[in-house]
Amino acid sequence: MPGDLHSVHAFLRLVEDWVNRLPTYQWYEDVLRGAGSADAVAMFAVDTINAFAHEGSLASGRVRAMLNRLRQLFVRAHEWDVSNFVLVIDSHSDDAEEFRYFPAHALRGTTEARLVPEIESLPFRDRLTVFVKNSFHPANATSLDPWLMDNPQITHFVVTGCGTDLGVYLLATYLHTYLLAHNAPGRVIVPADCTDTYDIAPDLARELGILPHPADLCHQLALYHLAIHGVTVVKDIR
């Protein structure tokens, strides 16, 4: 057992070091040139709603602190003539089965389910496509698949948002496997500085009747696991 514990600690140090050494991408050299044109690039954000940043049981200061960076990434993409912007966001029914595993959040029609001001105030807000979901998966019972089929010219996906180990992880792996399944050349890129996840300490988890959620660990392991799948994980895109 002591040897196994030592191996676990060594692996976690390896993951932390890997995250700290992630490369920085440049918009033109590393994204647009590979895609061929701005029309082949789509910007995605997951769960950029008040429930995960500004109010409610799952609101997180970590996510809130990330939102201005995400906003600026969208603005830079728009300046590079990217026009495909997609939001995939929670909008739950009162009886959502997901509430068996997470505290109630983002109830349909409440302020928790509204877009965060950082996204709502974008000057090109009217160009954002919004898909709502009743689970943390981006494609189950949503309009994502029809949208992908209607936009075969899009081969490069930049995925941001919340949480790294839930919605972002599922969306990035889904888009990556979508490309693989269709033998389509392309890439899924996750900039680590524009995604984060929430933290729930053991004491609070016991009160809520759910499992603890250590944000640093979950964030880093999700990024590492995305890279194992073949998703391109970078520090940021400038």
pLDDT tens digits, the chain, 238 residues: what are they? 455 877 989 999 999 999 999 999 999 999 999 999 999 999 999 999 999 999 998 899 999 999 999 999 999 999 999 999 999 999 999 999 999 888 889 999 999 999 999 999 999 999 999 999 999 899 999 999 999 999 999 999 999 999 999 999 999 999 999 999 999 999 999 999 999 999 988 998 888 888 899 999 999 999 999 999 999 999 999 9
Residues β-bridged to residue 222: none
Contacts of 132 (CB under 8 A, 6+ apart): 89, 90, 91, 142
Instruction: Tell me if residue 160 falls in helix, strand or coil.
Output: strand
pLDDT of residue 205: 85
* CB-facing half-sphere around the CA of 93: CA atoms within 13 A: 5
118-143 core/surface letters (b: 16 or more CB in 10 A; e: else): bbeebeeeeebeebbbbbbbbbeebe
**Is the Cβ–Cβ distance between 95 and 51 less than 8 Å?**
no
pLDDT of residue 158: 98
**Tokens 């996510």, residue located:** 63
**Is the Cβ–Cβ distance between 34 and 45 less than 8 Å?**
no
pLDDT of residue 204: 85
Contacts of 209 (CB under 8 A, 6+ apart): none
Tell me how far apart the alpha carbons of residues 50 and 55 are, in angstroms, rounded to a whole number.
6
Tell me how far apart the alpha carbons of residues 181 and 203 are, in angstroms, rounded to a whole number.
43
**Is the Cβ–Cβ distance between 156 and 169 less than 8 Å?**
no
Task: Return the closest-CA partner of residue 151 out of 113, 126, 120, 182.
Answer: 182
* CB-facing half-sphere around the CA of 169: CA atoms within 13 A: 19
